[in-house]
């Protein structure tokens, strides 16, 4: 490969840490790194931080407390949920306290970036990083910076890179870090004029005809506004998400009449890494955080809180590498897996297990839950959408108890569990 020092078109800027991507992972990494006194550059591909938004914006109450986030960032608070089975059953659950909040991702991401800048990070937007290489003890980063009237070559170097590019990162592969994963393809409409909304109650819709390999959702935003979307596993269908979403809005008995007069204000699409890669999340001079590292819940695709945790850990260990500690990547790997790796692995297990069920079997499980006040109560007590493993044993015990009255439940749950466990081997 030719030396990157040749044909430079702009002055090289030196930093101790470069963070690529100004989402929740990148912003928290830059804040932690700059807060530790490291010269930190945060670069964002888009001209506007947070745009375009690619998610529902549902964020656990744990994140608000742990990261000292102001509740003014929330558009809505969520305390309940409705699960619509493939056969038309509905399970209603409600927690005694707020489980999560819904945020406007553009405003939320901008707030996080501002906080990183206040901690001392330099922020550059409109910079598309296209290449990186190791050169004489430095990590050299190349790209294009959009400036009127034309794009200019961007080049900077640092001792350490924190990659937070999102679901489709470029740099890990360039730098020799393999990140195997598969994706769900998502599409979401932000709509006005939706009827029958309970402000604190999102709804989910299941079935191979609704969203094969995943699910659909309705997320209230307040008043008659809601985000309605779905993801599909492309290994399970050749049809695009728009085909399923349009059919959901037009035909689903629990939704069609409520959206008949609604107006679509905005559409967003994106990819979600479904499963945690089995490979490392760090290499010489670089670690990967957030969606780029597959640190998401495979059951729901949610990952904002885990991304913020990973980013903070990444920013904290960056100083070790800059100081000459070659174990920094291993320390990062150990710390994030200790902090939330169990949940990432559990949701991967859960996604495999759920996908093992046929529509009739999933319908049976949800009907059993709907018909059992005791089982629903245990779900409401133990349920936590951020730490879903907490629900596993109560749900398993509840289904086992119901199995004495509905024997068909036991073998199908057993098959799902075995499939989920085998997928982890």
Shared-domain flag, residues 214 and 122: no
Shared-domain flag, residues 186 and 39: no
Shared-domain flag, residues 247 and 267: yes
Instruction: Supply the pLDDT for residue 275.
Output: 55
Per-residue model confidence as pLDDT tens digits over 366-414? 888 888 888 788 888 877 778 877 777 667 676 667 665 666 666 656 6
Instruction: Supply the pLDDT for residue 9.
Output: 45
Shared-domain flag, residues 112 and 256: no
Do 58 and 219 touch, CB atoms closer than 8 A? yes
Instruction: Supply the pLDDT for residue 408.
Output: 66
Q: What is the CATH number of the domain that holds 235?
A: 3.30.9.10
Confidence of residue 278 (pLDDT cuts 50, 70, 90): low
Last residue of a domain, one of 340, 363, 381: 340
Confidence of residue 417 (pLDDT cuts 50, 70, 90): low
Rounded to the nearest 10 degrees, how much is the dihedral formed by the CA atoms of 352, 355, 357, 361?
Answer: 130
Last residue of a domain, one of 299, 314, 340: 340
Do 167 and 298 touch, CB atoms closer than 8 A? no
Statement: residue 267 has pLDDT above 90: yes
Instruction: Supply the pLDDT for residue 409.
Output: 66
Shared-domain flag, residues 285 and 264: no
Reading the block at residue 86, the tokens are: 């493939």
Type and span of the H or E element at 139: strand 138-147
Instruction: Supply the pLDDT for residue 411.
Output: 63
CA 103, CA 386: separation in Å to the nearest integer? 16
Domain coverage including residue 362: 350-422
Shared-domain flag, residues 27 and 170: yes
Instruction: Supply the pLDDT for residue 149.
Output: 66
Shared-domain flag, residues 195 and 327: no
Q: What is the CATH number of the domain that holds 318?
A: 3.50.50.60
Last residue of a domain, one of 253, 273, 293: 273
Instruction: Supply the pLDDT for residue 412.
Output: 59
Looking at the structure of the chain, the number of domains it has is 3
Rounded to the nearest 10 degrees, how much is the dihedral formed by the CA atoms of 182, 188, 194, 199?
Answer: 60
Per-residue model confidence as pLDDT tens digits over 328-377? 999 999 999 999 998 988 888 888 888 888 999 889 888 888 888 887 88
Percent of the chain with pLDDT over 90: 63
Shared-domain flag, residues 205 and 313: no
With respect to residue 186, please indicate whether it lies within any of the assigned structural domains: yes
If you compute the radius of gyration of the chain from its CA atoms, what whole number of angstroms results?
A: 22
Do 264 and 189 touch, CB atoms closer than 8 A? yes
Average pLDDT over residues 304-318: 97
Cβ-Cβ contacts under 8 Å for 348 (sequence gap 6 or more): 274, 275, 276, 298, 423, 424
Statement: residue 164 has pLDDT above 90: yes
3-state helix, strand, coil in the chain (%, to 5): 35, 25, 35
Question: Inter-axis angle of helices 373-382 and 392-402, to 10 degrees?
Answer: 170
Q: Pick from 219, 255, 241: which is nearest to 103 by CA?
A: 219
Shared-domain flag, residues 43 and 121: yes
Shared-domain flag, residues 159 and 291: yes
With respect to residue 58, please indicate whether it lies within any of the assigned structural domains: no
CA 103, CA 116: separation in Å to the nearest integer? 19
Average pLDDT over residues 109-122: 96
With respect to residue 75, please indicate whether it lies within any of the assigned structural domains: no
Shared-domain flag, residues 308 and 264: no
Shared-domain flag, residues 307 and 238: no
Question: Inter-axis angle of helices 392-402 and 359-370, to 10 degrees?
Answer: 90
Q: How far is CA 227 from CA 129, 167, 220, in A?
A: 31, 21, 7
Instruction: Supply the pLDDT for residue 415.
Output: 57
With respect to residue 100, please indicate whether it lies within any of the assigned structural domains: no
With respect to residue 295, please indicate whether it lies within any of the assigned structural domains: yes
Do 121 and 31 touch, CB atoms closer than 8 A? yes
With respect to residue 293, please indicate whether it lies within any of the assigned structural domains: yes
With respect to residue 1, please indicate whether it lies within any of the assigned structural domains: no
Per-residue model confidence as pLDDT tens digits over 57-94? 899 999 999 999 999 999 899 999 999 999 999 999 99
Q: What's this model's pTM, rounded to 2 decimal places? A: 0.89
- What mean pLDDT is reported for the chain? 87
With respect to residue 187, please indicate whether it lies within any of the assigned structural domains: yes
Statement: residue 25 has pLDDT above 90: yes
């Amino acid at each position: 490969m030719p030396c990157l020092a040749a044909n430079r078109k702009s002055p090289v800027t030196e930093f101790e840490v470069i963070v690529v991507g100004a989402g929740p992972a990148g912003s928290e990494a830059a804040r932690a790194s700059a807060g530790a006194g490291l010269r930190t550059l945060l670069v964002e591909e888009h001209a506007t931080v947070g745009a375009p938004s690619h998610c529902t914006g549902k964020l656990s109450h744990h994140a608000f407390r742990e990261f000292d986030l102001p509740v003014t960032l929330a558009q809505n608070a969520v305390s309940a949920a409705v699960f619509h089975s493939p056969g038309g059953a509905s399970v209603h659950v409600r927690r005694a306290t707020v489980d999560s909040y819904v945020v406007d991702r553009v405003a939320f991401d901008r707030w996080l970036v501002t906080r990183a800048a206040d901690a001392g990070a330099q922020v550059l937007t409109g910079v598309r990083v296209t290449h990186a290489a190791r050169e004489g003890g430095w990590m050299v980063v190349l790209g294009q910076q959009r400036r009127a009237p034309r794009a200019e070559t961007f080049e900077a170097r640092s001792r350490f890179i924190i990659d937070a590019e999102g679901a489709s990162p470029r740099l890990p592969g360039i730098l020799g870090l393999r990140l195997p994963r598969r994706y769900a393809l998502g599409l979401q409409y932000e709509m006005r004029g939706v009827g029958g909304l309970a402000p604190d109650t999102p709804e989910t819709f299941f079935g191979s005809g609704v969203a094969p390999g995943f699910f659909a959702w309705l997320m209230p935003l307040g008043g008659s506004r809601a985000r309605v979307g779905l993801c599909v596993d492309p290994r399970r269908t050749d049809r695009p998400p728009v085909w399923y979403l349009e059919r959901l809005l037009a035909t689903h008995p629990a939704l069609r009449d409520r959206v008949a007069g609604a107006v679509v204000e905005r559409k967003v699409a994106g990819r979600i890494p479904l499963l945690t890669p089995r490979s490392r999340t760090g290499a010489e001079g670089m670690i990967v955080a957030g969606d780029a590292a597959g640190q998401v819940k495979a059951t729901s695709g949610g990952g904002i809180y885990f991304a913020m945790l990973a980013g903070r850990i990444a920013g904290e260990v960056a100083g070790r590498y800059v100081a000459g500690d070659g174990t920094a990547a291993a320390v990062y790997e150990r710390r994030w897996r200790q902090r939330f790796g169990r949940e990432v692995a559990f949701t991967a297990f859960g996604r495999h297990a759920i996908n093992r069920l046929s529509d009739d079997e999933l319908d049976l499980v949800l009907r059993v839950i709907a018909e059992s006040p005791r089982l629903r109560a245990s779900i409401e007590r133990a349920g936590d959408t951020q730490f879903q493993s907490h629900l596993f044993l109560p749900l398993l015990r509840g289904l086992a108890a119901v199995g004495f009255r509905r024997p068909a439940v036991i073998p199908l749950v057993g098959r799902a569990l075995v499939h989920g466990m085998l997928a982890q081997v």
